[in-house]
Amino acid sequence: MAKQAPPQGIYVPAVVYFDSNEEIDTEGYKAHILRLARGGVTGILVQGSNGEAQHLSHLERFTAIGITRKTLDENGFKDTLVIAGTGAQSTRETITLCEEAQEAGASHALVLTPSTWAPAMSKANILTFHRTVADKSPIPIMIYNFPTVTAGQNLTSEVIAELAKHPNIVGTKLSCGDIGKAHRLCTTFPPSEFAVFPGKSDVMLPGLLCGSAGIIGALVNLAPKLHKKLYDAYRAGRVDEAKQIQEIFSHADAAVGTLGGIAGLKRAISEHFGYGVPYVRGPLLLVSKDALQSPAGDWIAKLVELEKAA
């Protein structure tokens, strides 16, 4: 059976919205999903790190995937993929989350390496974990390499390449931002079999130049149309146009981090697009409106201006 890698394109690790009681704000979340879909994204990652996956119960994860799939289907976006983050701290729970993700409507799962017992995660343990999950998962899985949220574990290109040989492991999201790693993987596997996605927009164009399958980046939450514009420009050979857009991405991606990551994204979306309230679940902290009155906020404003004009 042929591997079922996700198609090349623009993917967004969508933020999820909460109300003041930290309950899922369904209407705010639906509004966000629709703006992203209308912006031309290829797929939506539910419960990536930006979706506060570790802050959600199993039922909330299931609900968020279902809301995403139903919202897309009811509004003419049946071809927009839903990928589910299914990271957990045990092999057993990770497999359960993959099963629940399929039931809720996801086509692929994105799997983090467990990190509670990071000193015990030898190469052999890492390979065994991901292969066991892939053996049991009813949907194809992707390897999520994000050292920031896995106690510093940074999978090498050699380890990822070994995992890529598994028939049910079909891609990776490299939130490490390592272009050399991406290039090595892109020149080893065709994207139809193993899709390599940088996880940061500040390396989107360098990734494409290395043969990446596109992007799965937090900044897409703010500017889906502009990411697609860069992608389309590159594919059409308009590299100078792509470079101009990449310049703003490089500054705006860093600005989101300065503003507080997830909380900063939510604040910027709320202020610039007029939906959703910027609540996050503790221990994350709310970012104030005043934070946008800063050099970082100015870069976000420039990005949004270009997005609205795209």
Residue type, 265: L
Provide the annotated binding site for pyruvate: 216
Q: What distance in Å separates the CA atoms of residue 75 and residue 124, rounded to the nearest whole number?
A: 45
CB atoms within 10 A of CB 239: 14
User: What are the tokens at 226?
Assistant: 């502009």
In single-letter form, the type of residue at position 117 comes to: W
Sign of the torsion angle spanned by Cα atoms 207, 212, 216, 222: positive
The annotation places the binding site at 216
Integer Cα distance of 267 and 260 in angstroms: 10
SS (H, E, C) 86-151: CCCCCHHHHHHHHHHHHHHCCCEEEEECCCCCHHHCCHHHHHHHHHHHHHHCCCCEEEEECHHHCC
Distance CA 85, CA 51 (A): 9
Phi, psi of 177, deg, nearest 5:
70, 20
Which amino acids are annotated catalytic? 144, 173
Distance CA 292, CA 126 (A): 40
Rounded CA-CA distance 46/232 in Å is 24
- 225 token code pair: 């149309």
State the CB neighbour count (10 A cutoff) for residue 88.
Answer: 20
What is the distance between the alpha carbons of residues 201 and 250, in angstroms, rounded to a whole number? 7
